[in-house]
Chains A and B, each alone.
Chain A
Amino acid sequence: MNTDSLTAKPRKKLDRATVIAIGVIFAIYALAFVLEQVIPSTSMLFTVLKKGATYALVAVSMNLLNGFTGLFSLGQAGFMLIGAYTYAVFTIPVAQRMSVYQYYNGGVIQFTLPVLVAIALAGVFAALFAFLIGLPVLRLKSDYLAIATLGFAEIIRAIFQWDKLGVVTNGSNLLRLFPTFNDFNIKDASGNVTLHLSTLIPFLIAGVCILFIVMLINSSYGRAFKAIRDDETAAEAMGINLPRHKMIAFCTSSFFAGVGGAMLAMYQNSVQAKYFTTSMTYEILLIVVIGGIGSVTGSCISSFLFVACSEWWLRFLDQEQTINGWQVPLLRNGFRLVVFSLIIMAVVLFFRKGIMGTRELPDLFRRRKPSGKGGAKA
């Protein structure tokens, strides 16, 4: 895939594999839309799809940094927190602010922004913080960078819980009553849903953002990122401005982590700083690893798999079960997570390339026969 982008002529015609890939993505979107109209909206499927789309965006944004630029950053949860709070703070209806900010006399912000503006602002704030953090931190190398970004995520979490900022952030209390994914459903006068859009919208938001990241990766910037990943010294010798490109990658990644945070807020219906911990970052990192470090498609597929396994498919492991009077051993609350972590360890130890390695969706249709399963790109 890189070979043809290196020899790119202007206005190159799309090859067959890319066309099929685009077709598959459209088919997935159409399927998501149709399913939503047909299946009752209480189905677990939609929980998985919504959360999966959110995580896909965050995982791809992390992959841009860790997989394509070779910067091992562990600050993702911090940027998601900024995004989630920005979105929530600016979209809670003015009428509801009194009940949300009950300990802070309604808070200081007494206006509401449109949802899409607030989502964009969530990204902008996250990117702004990333810029400030990046100035000192991006000079550090590999594991020092990881631990410094992790530290920043913790500091951000502490700041957002600080009582003195409560008039904006509501301290350590919940932020709630802001528009969620369900508010995208089109309702008639009596409140019945006429058109379900609560799954399609997160797919669209994530899809547009991921498309942007893919375009960035395939641009000259993306090639510079990969050069930095492969060999910093050589990249610098070739005339790549290291600090500038690292900063671009860091800010872009954080921007989309912020948007992802806003989407997570919409998915969860409420936001509280104490949930954006290091383990959230670890979870996203593990998604990236399972999908394949350096594959956007891989991150997307593994996000959906990860969410589906943890929320849905492996749920039965948490319930005690009896088959023909025989009590199945080990099954009880928490067993799902044990099985899950063992699977992850197996991937980390034995399938280091993850699901996709560094391949992308069109590559599946290129070399051999298509393997049948496409996988969502959003």
Chain B
Amino acid sequence: MLSTVLPYLLSGISVGGQYALIAIGYTMVYGILRLINFAHGDVFMVAGILMVYITASGAPLYVSIPLVLVTTALIGFAIERVAYKPLRSAPRMSIMISAIGVSYTLQNLVLYITGGLNQFYPSIPFISDTVTIGTTSTRMVTIVTPILTLLLVIALVMLINHTKIGMAMRAVSKDFETSRLMGIKINSVISVTFVIGSFLAAVGSILYFTNYSTVIQTSGSMPGLKAFVAAVFGGIGSVPGAVVGAFIIGICENLIKGLDTILVKAGISTKMFGFTTFSDAFTFALLIIILIVKPTGLFGEKQTDKV
């Protein structure tokens, strides 16, 4: 039984960690701007494309990985300055539409550059290696992801709770106008939020695409949407909530993918139901249930955790 479930569980934990890294970007931006940054999933995809192109230009890994992280952070910063800052006083719907426009633009730009072809993600030594756990063989990235995710989240929570900029972030998310009156530089706080979010999305993209091995202009939308659901599930605005939500969604999604096989091997059923089709739909069903039952999410009310 365990040997049947284990591979799905492992890939669930791994994908969950990758979703978590994206979800943090959503939850932080929402906490401060009350904006669903629809372009965030595409920033994640752009990070993947950057890695492909930088590696193809011959740069060694110790150059390409930092370069990808920094460039993605800069792209996140630039998007905020160009597309969201001019709309700060506009109705929320306008900013959301602008975010959708950015997402559309990024996808089309990548389509133009790549010609719409699948790009093969470079394999990174160590995390692409195969390891065997029990009877299951998997890639090193499966083990690295949750550890790295937890380390980054701890670092982020430390940043939010124990530094000056973190304090400013918490203040802005509590009350935008008052914190401006208190002399907090709103624009730099928002920029830092976007830089952190994009940086984490870039880390997530390295782990995610090592697993999936190809990148195309639409690769970002599904993980992006799921990470957003994870953020809502955990209580939007809360970093630990987003992480917990992401792990739950990643694990459930992969278990559903394997549900047919698991049921058959456990002797519960004898035929395949084709549940795999619903692995994406499940995420959204979960979203709708949580929105109706507990709209603030799992950790939504803990104000202290809000970014």
CA distance A151 to B229 in the complex (A): 9
A146 to chain B, nearest CB (A): 7
CA A154 to CA B281, docked complex, whole Å: 6
Contact B101 A341 (CB under 8 A): yes
8 Å CB interface, B288-304 against A:
288, 291-292, 295
Does A164 lie within 8 Å of B221, measured CB to CB? no
Contact mask for chain B residues 270-307; partner A; CB cutoff 8 A; 1 contact, 0 none: 00011001101101110110011001000000000000
Q: Is B127 part of the contact surface with A, judged by Cβ < 8 Å?
A: no
Contact bitstring A54-79, B, C-beta under 8 A = 1, else 0: 00000000000010000010000000
| Beta-carbon nearest neighbor of A164 in chain B | B274
User: What are 27 pairs between A and B in contact, CB < 8 Å?
Assistant: A66-B93, A137-B291, A139-B292, A143-B36, A143-B92, A144-B232, A147-B228, A147-B232, A147-B287, A147-B291, A148-B287, A151-B285, A279-B107, A282-B100, A285-B100, A286-B100, A332-B112, A333-B115, A334-B112, A334-B116, A337-B112, A338-B108, A341-B105, A342-B105, A344-B104, A344-B105, A345-B98
Q: Assess whether A72 is in contact with B96, with CB atoms less than 8 Å apart.
A: yes
Interface assignment of B32: CB less than 8 Å from any CB of chain A: no
With A282-B103, A334-B112 known to touch, is A152 a contact of B92 (CB < 8 Å)? no
Q: In the complex, A148→B286 CA distance in Å?
A: 10
Contact present for B288 and A151 (CB under 8 Å)? yes
Complex CA–CA separation, A20 to B112 (angstroms): 45
Let me know if B83 is at the binding interface, CB within 8 A: yes
Residue of B nearest to A159 (CB): B281
Which range holds the interface residue count of chain A?
35 or more
Contact with B along A118-160 (1 / 0, CB 8 A): 0000000000000000001101101110111011101101110
Distance in angstroms between the alpha carbons of A158 and B222 in the assembled complex: 13
State which residues 103-122 of B face A: CB under 8 Å.
Answer: 103-105, 107-109, 111-112, 115-116
The answer to whether B112 touches A289 (Cβ under 8 A) is: no
Contact B108 A349 (CB under 8 A): no
Separation of A143 and B101 alpha carbons in the complex (Å): 16
Q: Which residues of B contact A337 (CB under 8 A)?
A: 108, 111-112
Residues of B near A286 (CB, < 8 A) are: 97, 100-101, 104
CA distance A333 to B108 in the complex (A): 11
For B97, list chain A residues within 8 Å (CB). 285-286, 289, 348
Residues of the A chain whose Cβ atoms lie less than 8 Å from the Cβ of B273: 164
Decide yes or no: A334 and B115 within 8 Å by CB, A143-B92, A342-B105 being known contacts. yes
User: Given known contacts A72-B93, A151-B284, A286-B101, is B277 in contact with A349 (CB within 8 Å)?
Assistant: no
Q: Is the CB of B295 within 8 A of A338?
A: no
Q: A143-B36, A151-B287, A337-B111 are in contact. Are A158 and B280 (CB under 8 A)?
A: yes
CB-CB under 8 A for A349 and B86, given A151-B229, A164-B273, A334-B111: yes
Let me know if B109 and A142 touch, CB within 8 A: no
Q: Are A162 and B288 in contact (CB under 8 A)?
A: no
Known: A72-B96, A140-B291, A143-B92. A345 touches B102 (CB 8 A): yes
Per the bound structure, the CA–CA distance linking A282 and B295 in Å amounts to 25
Interface membership of A278, Cβ < 8 A: yes
List of A residues within 8 angstroms of B108 by Cβ? 334, 337-338, 340-341
Rounded to whole angstroms, the CA-CA distance of A349 and B285 in the bound complex is 34
Taking a contact as CB atoms under 8 Å apart, the answer to whether B278 and A338 are in contact is: no
Q: Which of B67-113 contact A (CB under 8 A)?
A: 83, 86-87, 90, 92-94, 96-98, 100-105, 107-109, 111-112
Report the separation of the CA atoms of residues A154 and B285 in the bound assembly, to the nearest whole angstrom: 10
**What distance in Å separates the Cβ of B261 from its nearest Cβ neighbour in chain A?**
16
| Distance between Cα atoms of A116 and B285 in the complex (Å) | 34
Which residue of A152, A278, A335, A352 is within 8 Å of B90 (Cβ)? A352
Residue of chain B at shortest CB distance from A283: B104
Inter-chain CA distance A352–B90, complex, in Å, is 9
Q: Indicate whether B24 reaches chain A with its CB closer than 8 angstroms.
A: no
B292 and A136 within 8 A (CB): yes
Partner of B281, one of A72, A139, A155, A332: A155
CB distance from A135 to the nearest CB of B (A): 10
Q: Which of A143, A152, A338, A348 has the most CB of B within 10 A?
A: A348
A270 within 8 A of B: no
Chain B hits for A136, CB < 8 A: 288, 292
Q: Is the CB of A144 within 8 A of B274?
A: no
Residue on B with the closest CB to A67?
B93
> DSSP class of A's interface residues: helix, strand, loop or mixed?
helix
Bound-state Cα–Cα, A279 to B108, Å: 12
Is B47 positioned at the interface, with any CB of A under 8 Å from its CB? no
Q: Does A232 contact B (CB under 8 A)?
A: no
A358 at the binding interface (Cβ < 8 Å): no
B161 to chain A, nearest CB (A): 27
How far, in whole Å, are A142 and B91 apart by their CA atoms in the complex?
11
Chain B positions within 8 Å of A148 at CB level:
287-288, 291
Instruction: Confirm or deny: B169 has a beta carbon within 8 angstroms of a beta carbon on chain A.
Output: no
Q: How far is the CA of A341 from the CA of B104 in the complex (A)?
A: 7
Tell me, yes or no, whether B249 is within 8 Å of chain A by CB.
Answer: no
Contact A352–B94 (Cβ < 8 Å): yes
Complex contact A341–B109 (CB within 8 A):
yes
Instruction: Confirm or deny: A163 has a beta carbon within 8 angstroms of a beta carbon on chain B.
Output: yes
- CA–CA, A335 and B115, complex, Å: 10
Contact A137 B87 (CB under 8 A): no
Do A154 and B112 touch across chains, with their CB atoms under 8 A apart? Answer: no
Q: Does A161 contact B (CB under 8 A)?
A: yes
CB contact under 8 A between A162 and B104, given known A151-B288, A348-B94: no
B225 at the interface (CB under 8 A from A): yes
In addition to A278-B221, A286-B97, A341-B104, 11 A-B residue pairs with Cβ atoms within 8 Å of each other are: A137-B291, A147-B36, A151-B285, A154-B281, A155-B281, A158-B280, A162-B278, A341-B101, A342-B105, A344-B101, A345-B98
CA–CA, A282 to B221, complex, Å?
Answer: 12
Q: Which residues of B contact A142 (CB under 8 A)?
A: 92-93
Which residue on chain B has the smallest CB distance to residue A166? B274
* Residue contact A163 to B295, C-beta cutoff 8 Å: no
Chain A 16-59, CB-CB to B under 8 Å as 1, else 0, gives 00000000000000000000000000000000000000000000
CB-based contact A162/B274 at 8 Å: yes
Q: How far is the CA of A349 from the CA of B291 in the complex (A)?
A: 31
A288 → chain B closest CB, angstroms = 9
A349 near B284 (CB under 8 angstroms)? no
